[in-house]
Amino acid sequence: MPWPNLFPQIYFGRMVYNIPMNSPVRVRIAPSPTGYVHVGNTYIAYYNYIFAKQHNGTFIVRIDDTDQARHVADAERVIYRLFEWLGLVWQEGATIDGSPYPPYRQSEKIDRYKEKANELVDKGLAYHLDGAIYFKIQPGDPIVVHDLIRGEVVFERKNLKDFVILKSNGFPTYQFATCVDEIDHKITHVIRGEDHLSNTAFHVLAITALGGTPPMYAHMPLLRNTDESKLSKRQGHVSLQWYKDEGILPDALKNFFSLMGWSHPEQKEVFSEDEFITHFTFEKFRSRAPIFDLDKLRWLNGVKIREMDNEQLFNTLSSYYQEYDQNAYQQISANPQYSIRVVGLAKERLQTLKDFWPQNKYFYNEYQVPTKESVAKFISDDAVLLQYRDAVIALLSDASLAWEKDELDAKLHQLQSSYGLTPKQAFMTLRLIVTGESATPPLFDTLEVLGKDTVLGRIQAYLP
What letter represents residue 142's amino acid? P
Closest CB 28 distance from ligand GLU, rounded Å: 7
Minimum distance of ligand GLU from residue 95's CB (angstroms): 18
Q: What gap in Å lies between CA 243 and CA 117, rounded to an integer?
A: 41
Count of C-beta atoms within a 10 Å radius of residue 380: 12
Smaller CB separation from ligand GLU, 32 or 188: 32
Measured from the CB of residue 63, what is the shortest distance to ligand GLU in angstroms? 9
Exposure of 95 in the CB half-sphere (CA atoms within 13 A):
16
Between 38 and 458, name the residue whose CB sits nearer to ligand GLU: 38
* For ligand GLU, the closer CB: 32 or 339: 32
Supply the minimum distance, in Å, between the C-beta of residue 180 and ligand GLU. Answer: 12
Cα–Cα distance between 220 and 150 in angstroms, integer?
A: 9
- Minimum distance, C-beta of residue 284 to ligand GLU, in the bound complex (Å): 22
Binding site for ligand GLU (CB under 6 A): 30-32, 41, 64, 178, 192, 196
**317, 343 in Cβ contact below 8 A?**
yes
**CB distance 117 to 192 below 8 Å:** no
**Between 197 and 332, CB nearer to ligand GLU:** 197
Minimum distance, C-beta of residue 196 to ligand GLU, in the bound complex (Å) = 5
User: Is 233 marked active-site?
Assistant: yes
Q: How many CA atoms lie within 13 A of 300 on its CB side?
A: 23
CB nearer ligand GLU, residue 105 or residue 196? 196
37 exposure class (CB count in 10 Å sphere: 0-12, 13-18, 19+): buried
Active-site entry in 123, 233, 372, 377: 233
Nearest by Cα to 269 from 302, 246, 245: 302
Contact 436, 369 (CB under 8 A): yes
Q: E-assigned strands of 117-234?
A: 126-129, 132-135, 143-147, 151-155, 163-166, 189-193, 216-220
Query: Residue 32 or 58: which CB sits closer to ligand GLU?
Result: 32
Helices (H), 348-401: 356-360, 372-376, 382-397
| CB of 421 closer than 8 Å to CB of 380 | no
Q: Give catalytic residue positions.
A: 233
